[in-house]
Structure 1
Amino acid sequence: MRRIASVIGLRPGSVERYEALHAAVWPAVLRRLSASNVANYSIYRHGELLFSYMEYVGDDFDADMAEMAADKATQEWWAVCSPLQDPLDTRAEGEWWKEIPEVFHLE
């Protein structure tokens, strides 16, 4: 199992819309997340900063993420959510959400 944490900004004035979307995530998007071996997925908000945590429980992360990215419902979901987000300037090349390192874990 791989634990993944990441952050992204929210554009000013987008909090209500973003939270409303995530209060009723489309069922096809939820199914795709599960089919792509994503589990225990949460998004938290602090002001206009979003923090996400998920666990990847599969065997081929790159292949599962490619399948998710190719999924029509997921693409439509991202098209709705992406304009509300403000990626951090410090993110790595190719990242939308900036993956952040784990510095402590207690099991």
Structure 2
Amino acid sequence: MIRNAFTMKLKPGFEAEYKKRHDEIWPELSKLLSDSGIHEYSIFLDEQTLTLFAFQKLEDGFEPSKIPNDPIVKKWWAYMADIMETNDDNSPVETSLREVFFME
């Protein structure tokens, strides 16, 4: 498995709504992510900066280019666009993070 981490940004005042939407994540989206090779997906919120820190484990051979083209993902992005910083296609603005330490 490959460990992957990135940040995103929440708009002010939407902390509770962001959590609510993820507590009610669509089953078809969860299935798509899992079937695509994404496991142990966690998102943490820094409440002072509204930075979202995401961590996930990806199966070896995970193909990231498939996810953005799926209609379920596009629908989720549109659903989340009002509460997050997004790109023109509604995808969240993500900043990849480089791993500098790991301890098992």
For normalisation by structure 1, the TM-score amounts to 0.82
Q: Distance in 2 between matches of 1:81 and 1:99?
A: 20
- Report whether the alignment pairs 1:96 with 2:98: no
More helix by share: 1
Q: CA deviation at 1:38?
A: 0.4
Answer whether contact 1:36 1:58 (CA < 8 A) is retained: no
Equivalent residue letter for 1:6: F
Give the root-mean-square deviation of aligned CA atoms.
1.6
Equivalent residue letter for 1:56: L
For normalisation by structure 2, the TM-score amounts to 0.84
Equivalent residue letter for 1:79: A
- Among all aligned residue pairs of Structure 1 and Structure 2, give the percentage whose two residues are the same amino acid: 28
The match for 2:89 is none
Equivalent residue letter for 2:58: Y
Q: Deviations over 1:14-42 (max 9, x none)?
A: 11211110011000100110111001110
Unaligned runs of at least 5 residues, structure 1: 88-94
User: Once superposed, which parts of structure 1, at least 4 consecutive aligned residues long, lie more than 4 Å away?
Assistant: none
Q: CA deviation at 1:13?
A: 1.2
